[in-house]
Amino acid sequence: MIESVSLDKGASARKVTYQRFRTFQRALALAILFPGAALFLFPAFWMLIASFEPVSQILQFPPSFIPDPLSLDGYTKGLTSMPFGLYFQNTAEIALLSSLGGVISSSLAGFAFARLRAPGRDALFLLVLSTLMLPYAVVMIPQYLVYKYLGWIDTYLPLIVPAYFGLPFLIFLFRQFFATIPEEVFEAARIDGCGYPRLYVWIGLPLSTPVIATAFIFHFQFAWNDFLAPLIYLNSDEKLTLSLALAAFQSSCNCTQWNQFMAASLVVSTVPILIFFFGQRYLMSGIVVSAK
């Protein structure tokens, strides 16, 4: 009886010690992460404050983080000094269409690499992944010459059509996910007479909702914020995207109307932030599953 009581006391002491150690770990992690998070969030916080301040207050030193007076001129003038609605529509069209094409084509390719048995499949997959190491500057000029020959310059086609031929990183995500589905699931479907197209539509896609959301969010944010490709292929003012419009606005106002520039930049960045906020649950689960 005495030994049993002493063992219980020892186990309780170890449990208390372990709980204290875990509490110390969490406190230490928060002490390290909180300053880092504040450092990364400070530019966004300053952009928000500057959008409500007059220009004279933005440029004063030491800086003030309380708008005095609170001004909405940054939004009323910044969003009306250029056709913001048109540029928003252009950017949304490019981002949505290219993201849709990237998800469809990459899921097809990922399913093929994961489930189809063919000679040289793994070597071809490595070749696809190797394209991730190519800087965009290497293929920029050849692509431009091809699109110029096709007559696609000053159109949205160079920004949308390539996504319908598969994107290497998204192909990798889908391939890794489809490889985690048990083979027994597909074997049961094959016994019922399903071929590969129906395996993809009836089994692959319904199970891949987290990866589809992850792929869509990744490519949508990339397409929404892309600056270099629209700069190369778009020439007409009415076809500009928001990233190009912000650069043109900055050069036209000569960097003097900082409140207007900050207000426009904040509105532009709101869409990717909202998409990430509402889709982060799928994003995290999709990344974890695809990494297995």
User: What is the tens place of the pLDDT at every residue in 143-192?
Assistant: 999 999 999 999 999 999 999 998 999 999 999 889 888 888 888 878 87
User: What is the tens place of the pLDDT at every residue in 85-142?
Assistant: 899 999 999 999 999 999 999 999 999 998 888 888 889 999 998 888 888 888 899 9
Domain parsing of the chain, residue ranges: 2-51, 75-290
pLDDT > 90 in the chain, percent:
27
**pLDDT computed for residue 137 by the predictor:** 85
Mean pLDDT of the chain: 82
**pLDDT computed for residue 253 by the predictor:** 58
User: What is the tens place of the pLDDT at every residue in 218-239?
Assistant: 899 999 999 999 999 998 888 9
**pLDDT computed for residue 37 by the predictor:** 79
| Average pLDDT of the residues in 60-67 | 74
291 pLDDT more than 50: no
**pLDDT computed for residue 111 by the predictor:** 92
> Tell me, which fold does domain 75-290 have in CATH?
MetI-like fold (1.10.3720)
**pLDDT computed for residue 79 by the predictor:** 79
Better-scored residue on pLDDT, 123 or 27? 123
| Average pLDDT of the residues in 51-69 | 75
**pLDDT computed for residue 191 by the predictor:** 80
Better-scored residue on pLDDT, 27 or 288? 27
Residue-by-residue DSSP string for the chain = -HHHHHHHHHHHHHHHHHHHHHHHHHHHHHHHHHHHHHHHHHHHHHHHHHHTS-HHHHT-SS--SS-SS---HHHHHHTTTTTHHHHHHHHHHHHHHHHHHHHHHHHHHHHHHHH---TTHHHHHHHHHHGGGS-HHHHHHHHHHHHHHHT-TTSSHHHHGGGGG--HHHHHHHHHHHHHS-HHHHHHHHHTT--HHHIIIIIIHHHTHHHHHHHHHHHHHHHHH--HHHHHH---GGG--HHHHHHHHHHHTTT--HHHHHHHHHHHHHHHHHHHHHHHHHHHHHHHHHT-
Per-residue pLDDT band for 285 (boundaries 50, 70, 90) equals low
